């Protein structure tokens, strides 16, 4: 079994409209949300074998408290993940070494939500409906798959086992 954690970057700041999209930082609310998600990962004992992160400033800033909570987890920041659609993200996941049983992917919408929806063929109806309705900034979707090799990951083949939104965390 492989487990995929899909994390949408936390709320970004629009204070400087001249700033390039790739360089937008987190808003103060986003920093608090990222810290809540990191605390949740730590509290739940979630320790992915690998973290993949888009190269944008807001995804890297979302990642900072996560890495602080999971200091021994190998992390890769990849430019190709910036703005990637679900198809590109799935192709990237297919290249993960099979020794990694779980991966945390930090990225952007619509790609992250589309990937979660594409992979989650099963799960609690209410939780699936929440994911279909919206994947807010800072949200974390957990998808368990029955595959033993990442290259065998296919649409509708996984189960949405959790969907967490920062504002729901204490």
**pLDDT of 170 strictly over 90:** no
pTM score of the predicted model:
0.97
Range of the domain at 142: 2-168
Task: Tally DSSP H helices, then E strands, for the chain.
Answer: 5, 7
Domain tally, the chain: 1
Chain-wide mean pLDDT for the chain?
97
Using one digit for the tens of pLDDT, what is the confidence trace for 17-48? Answer: 999 999 999 999 999 999 999 999 999 999 99
Could you tell me the CATH number of the domain that includes residue 55?
3.40.50.1240
**pLDDT of 11 strictly over 90:** yes
Using one digit for the tens of pLDDT, what is the confidence trace for 62-96? Answer: 999 999 999 999 999 999 999 999 999 999 999 99
- Tell me the β-bridge partners of 26: 12
pLDDT score of 114: 98
């Amino acid at each position: 079994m492989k487990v995929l954690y899909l994390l949408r970057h936390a709320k970004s700041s629009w204070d400087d409209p001249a700033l390039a999209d790739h360089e937008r930082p987190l808003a103060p609310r986003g920093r608090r949300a990222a810290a809540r998600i990191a605390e949740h990962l730590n509290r739940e004992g979630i320790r992915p074998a690998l973290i993949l992160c888009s190269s944008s400033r807001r995804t890297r800033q979302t990642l900072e408290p996560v890495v602080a909570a999971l200091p021994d987890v190998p992390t890769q920041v990849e430019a190709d993940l910036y703005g990637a659609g679900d198809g590109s993200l799935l192709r990237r996941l297919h290249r993960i070494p099979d020794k990694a049983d779980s991966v945390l992917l930090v990225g952007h919408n619509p790609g992250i939500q589309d990937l979660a929806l594409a992979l989650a063929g099963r799960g609690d109806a209410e939780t699936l409906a929440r994911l279909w309705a919206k994947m807010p900034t800072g949200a974390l979707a957990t998808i368990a798959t029955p595959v033993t090799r990442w290259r065998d990951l296919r649409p509708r083949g996984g189960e949405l086992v959790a969907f967490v939104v920062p504002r729901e965390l204490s």
